[in-house]
A and B are shown apart, each in its own frame.
Chain A
Amino acid sequence: MRVNFTVNGRRHEADDVWEGESLLYVLRERMGLPGSKNACEQGECGSCTVRLDGVPVCSCLVAAGQVEGREVITVEGLADFAAHRSEAHPGTGCASGACGTALDEARRWEAEPSGEDARETGELSPIQQAFIDAGAVQCGFCTPGLLVAADELLERTPEPSDADIREALSGNLCRCTGYEKILDAVRLAAARAEEAV
């Protein structure tokens, strides 16, 4: 079957998709977006977390056909997505939780070509930069999923408590860091956002 959907702000068609293929498989193997990782393929580890119409989901559990006409954000689009959000909502101002990127806004947004390679532009989203600065990246396999989940948490809850962070990221396993530096990273991103206001 053919599936039409939007990934990181760009419309895509995937052809010859087998009915059993997951969104994760289509992203990784058909679209050349291997940033979402394949660690358990049963929704337990969160390594494949993407946003589907703004909602964090395990892309391994989403059948490719379910994304017809919908919006997907992966780690590859996170920097542009965050940049767009901060343009749309200067400051944070999203404490109500109602200020996530609206569907129609997301549809209007397109990744800038140059924005696809953060190494060239030097642009990372605040949570990406915080993960590097806090030492929250070791082997890095859990990192893309954690970043997508953490970014969504901060969009919803700009000043999360430690318990909020733990609750929001409890679906993402990490085997390297002991999670302490991941907590540090989320706290750091939140603190920097507060300073920026």
Chain B
Amino acid sequence: MGVTGSPTSINQGTRTKGGIGESTLRPDGILKVTGEFAYSSDMWHEDMLWGHTLRSTVAHAEIVSIDTSEALATSGVYAVLTYDDLPTAVKNYGLEIQDTPVLAHGKVRHHGEPVALVAADHPETARRAAAKIRIDYRELPVITDEASATADDAVLVHEGRTDHHIGHVAHPNIVHRQPIIRGDAEAAKARADVVVSGEYVFGMQDQAFLGPESGLAVPAEDGGVDLYVATQWLHSDLRQIAPVLGLPEDKVRMTLSGVGGAFGGREDLSMQIHACLLALRTGKPVKIVYNRFESFFGHVHRHPAKLWYEHGATRDGKLTHMKCRIVLDGGAYASASPAVVGNASSLAVGPYVVEDVDIEALALYTNNPPCGAMRGFGAVQACFAYEAQMDKVAAELGMDPVEFRQLNAMEQGTLLPTGQRVDSPAPVAELLRRVKAMPLPPERQWESAGEQADVRALPGGLSNTTHGEGVVRGVGYAVGLKNVGFSEGFDDYSTARVRMEVIGGEPVVTVHTAMAEVGQGGVTVHAQIARTELGVAQVTIHPADTRVGSAGSTSASRQTYVTGGAVKNSCEAVREQVLDIGRRKFGTYHPAWATAELLLEGGKVVTDGGEALADLADVLEDEAVDIELEWRHRPTEAFDLRTGQGNGHVQYSFAAHRAVVEVDTELGLVKVIELACAQDVGKALNPLSVVGQIQGGTIQGMGIAVMEEIIVDPRTAKVRNPSFTDYLLPTILDTPTIPVDVLELADDHAPYGLRGVGEAPTLSSTPAVLAAIRNATGLELNRTPVRPEYLTGT
């Protein structure tokens, strides 16, 4: 009996014909609306067990002893594992620094750290058995902020660090630090007519993907394991899993199962190794599904940050200099903190021309929850601060905030603070113009339906807390700068295997990549690319697994660019080989085979003049063309560790927002009425999906602005709100209308001219909402999310 609910090939059929540029529909749409799509939590196997993780109840402690005897004696329990049961000397993993224990050994460093594992025949049995494990902790003082982390006598979160960053940081409790110095900020300050500074605080956001961490590990007869799991990067997981299990990578066979959203939260491992360990120990398939409470501890979050900024400007509105310091709280383990620091520093100036800068960004080790990747990745925190600064400087100069931004906007050819020249369109001023030109929603909309106020349209909504008295409106603008793809010299490649053959008399293309489809629509655009390049209607998307080369991560807005590029590249090679076969078989019949530019269109080989030379079915007959190739974007380079200089990024994306909010000043309740967005996407491969990504990113940014925050007790470093009851997410009642204006200025260096889409809208929507609330209330508001008490002064 095999796995049920395992991923199946997605056949595009003939209902979704269309190449790039068309809004073809998702190939997995029918499965998803009928409930048949197999998410990782839907996996099932005959005779399977349920795994459960026991997690630390304290943030920082020595583990004195663990007693598992009572748990192990529980009826229905098959295994209880602790650190001592790990099979090899490799007991840690990590994306960049291998500092994260598979199971805590000696010490726990954050609330909710995994300590022990249980496998049982019912999930409740596993939970109850785990509760019987007795752990004796000796608690240690908690490090929760920069002062406690970098004090001379601070306890080290990781004693004996040996990673390559340690030589460049001032204290072992700093994960990584990146300064960027260009020009002379102090000298430039002397030219400023106004100097404005501000301190900003950015709360800890959770990805809150709806599909919890989950998967199924099935032990194999060859001593290996098959793992079905939701992740963002199969090969990155594999690289971290295999050494801990003591298996060669080819004995850990990974298949992507349905992913219920990711947003960066699935870049790090969660239950992968745990499920494999339990499966290999028990010899039975083991499924682990986190509940929401555990999910809040099972993945890294967005770095909370403290940011200090100073800008100067001349009276005619030109920025003279910028100084900033960004302190990111990385929590107990490094995760992606070094790269987040690189982004926060290199994008700290935003989409503006400032020649003289003095930037420093760093990430701390603390006993707070570990933080890593989340949509926007370090650029989000900076954007919140520099956009607040732009409004402040404009106000100081008495200028319109949009005009001030446009006056200082970067453009193609601008030199960034890293010394890198922007060599593709950078329509910052144009995006601001577009978003400002959109018609504003009518005033006092709650009255427009009739004489009676519709309370649902008011701040407080159905709580019926106001009928419009005390409600004021504000409008705010923001724009952001995000890099696309992995930066700083990372070998950011992808692989695609493309096969063309004739099935049932029709030419059919199969696209096989290891790309994680997490909802973004990659499976749709891969089929569009294959149709465009190979001229066939039928495209099958093979399940993503590790039997094909790495696709890299579904993150950093890179997947359509890089794996899309790989699919295009492989398709082009398939096309050449198909044409060679055609020339061999039919070349003597028509001179165009040798002389014309040949294309594949509508299932035929055609000349660029449109003359059909042969059916693909006749060219291929029973031959199949099958090619797997890697594809890389242009190389980048590391930033200099002292000056931050270097061509670190490959591409940039830009989005601008205008927020319209209404605030009940009596109760401090905010209603976001509209969040208009203008974004340059280079080329919209699938306009419907592009708009969906922009709207989704916009709302995640709005969530940061007005409600979302993981609250960590500063005295105990314990998480106070690990549930959807207490961690507030925008509902459909909280969200505004989101008109989107898509601009397509091709980037000549990218496949089809496309520009990564997913993250940029998350940057600018947060500061736009903050600016609108400030505009409505006249309050300074330097902390996000904005809470009612900040608005009422209570």
Are A173 and B724 touching (Cβ within 8 A)? yes
Let me know if B28 and A140 touch, CB within 8 A.
Answer: yes
User: Which of B5, B25, B209, B263 is close to A132, meaning CB atoms less than 8 Å apart?
Assistant: B25
User: What A residues does B456 contact at CB under 8 A?
Assistant: 163, 166-167
- Given known pairs A37-B210, A39-B292, the reply for A143 and B33 (CB within 8 Å) is yes
Q: How far is the CA of A45 from the CA of B295 in the complex (A)?
A: 14
Contact A174 B39 (CB under 8 A): no
Contacts of A34 in B (CB 8 A): 5, 35, 38-39, 41-42, 44
How many Å lie between the Cα of A174 and that of B695 in the bound state? 12
Contact mask for chain A residues 20-36; partner B; CB cutoff 8 A; 1 contact, 0 none? 11000000110011111
Contact with A along B18-41 (1 / 0, CB 8 A): 000001011011111111111101
Contact status A169-B732, CB under 8 Å: yes
Contact check, A139 vs B209: say whether CB atoms are below 8 A apart: yes
Residues of B with C-beta under 8 A to A21:
124
Complex Cα spacing A137 to B25, Å: 10
Contacts of B424 in A (CB 8 A): none
- Chain A: minimal CB distance from B207 (Å): 8
Binds A, one of B300-308, B320-328, B390-398, B513-521: B513-521
Choose one: B449, B518, B725, B737; the contact of A139 (CB below 8 Å). B518
Does A39 lie within 8 Å of B36, measured CB to CB? no
Q: Which residues of B contact A169 (CB under 8 A)?
A: 732
Of the candidates A74, A139, A177, the one whose C-beta lies within 8 Å of that of B211 is A139
A138, B124: Cβ atoms under 8 Å?
A: no
A140-B519, A178-B699 given as contacts; is B733 within 8 A of A35 (CB)?
no
Q: Which residues of A contact B692 (CB under 8 A)?
A: 135, 138, 176-178, 181
Contact of A18 with B33 in the complex, beta carbons under 8 Å = no
Interface members, chain B 446-471 (any A CB < 8 Å): 449, 454, 456-457, 462
Partner pick for B210 among A36, A47, A75, A165, CB 8 A cutoff: A47
Tell me which residues across on chain B come within 8 A of A79, comparing CB atoms.
34
**CB-contact partner of A45 in B520, B695, B724, under 8 A:** B724
Interface of B is mostly: loop
B691 on the interface (CB 8 Å rule)?
Answer: yes
B723 interface contact, C-beta 8 A: yes
Across the interface, which residues of B come within 8 angstroms of A124, CB to CB? 30, 33-34
For B, the interface residue count at a CB cutoff of 8 angstroms equals: 67
> In this complex, what residue of A is CB-closest to B689?
A135
Is A5 interfacial (CB-CB < 8 Å)? no
Measured between beta carbons, the chain A residues less than 8 angstroms from B74 are none
Contact A35 B454 (CB under 8 A): no
Contacts A38-B41, A44-B723, A139-B211 given: A172-B732 contact, CB under 8 Å? yes
Say whether A118 faces chain B, with CB atoms less than 8 Å apart: yes
Distance A142 CA – B44 CA, assembled complex (angstroms): 20
Q: Which of B209-264 contact A (CB under 8 A)?
A: 209-212, 258-263
| B732 / chain A contacts, CB cutoff of 8 Å | 165-166, 169-170, 172, 174, 179, 182-183
Of residues 253 through 298 on chain B, the ones whose CB sits less than 8 Å from some CB of chain A are 258-263, 289, 291-292
| B35–A75 CB distance below 8 A | yes
Shortest A16–chain B CB gap in Å is 10
A140/B260 contact (C-beta < 8 A), A18-B122, A42-B724 known? yes
Residue A112 CB within 8 A of the other chain? no
A185 and B41 CA atoms in complex are apart in Å by: 26
Q: How far is the CA of A167 from the CA of B461 in the complex (A)?
A: 10
B291 touches A41 (CB 8 A): yes
Cα A37 to Cα B42 with chains together (Å):
9
**Assuming the A-B contacts A40-B723, A181-B695, are A173 and B33 also in contact, with contact meaning beta carbons closer than 8 angstroms in the complex?**
no
The reply on B68 being an interface residue by CB < 8 A is no
B454 (CB) vs chain A CBs: closest residue: A163
Residue B665 lies at the interface, judged by CB distance under 8 Å to chain A: no
Residue B716 interfacial (CB < 8 Å): no
What B residues does A143 contact at CB under 8 A?
32-33
Inter-chain pairs besides A132-B33, A135-B25, A178-B735, 16 sampled, C-beta below 8 Å: A20-B124, A28-B42, A35-B35, A41-B292, A44-B292, A74-B35, A135-B692, A137-B33, A138-B692, A139-B260, A139-B519, A141-B209, A141-B210, A142-B210, A176-B519, A176-B696
Enumerate the 5 nearest inter-chain pairs by beta-carbon distance, A residue then B residue, closest first: A35-B35, A139-B519, A141-B260, A140-B32, A178-B695
Residues of chain B at the chain A interface (Cβ within 8 Å): 4-5, 23, 25-26, 28-39, 41-42, 44, 122, 124, 207-212, 258-263, 289, 291-292, 449, 454, 456-457, 462, 518-521, 688-689, 691-692, 695-700, 723-725, 729-733, 735, 737-738
List 16 A-B residue pairs with CB atoms under 8 Å apart, sorted by A's residue number: A18-B124, A37-B39, A37-B211, A39-B260, A76-B35, A118-B33, A119-B34, A124-B30, A132-B25, A133-B25, A139-B210, A140-B32, A141-B261, A174-B732, A175-B696, A178-B698
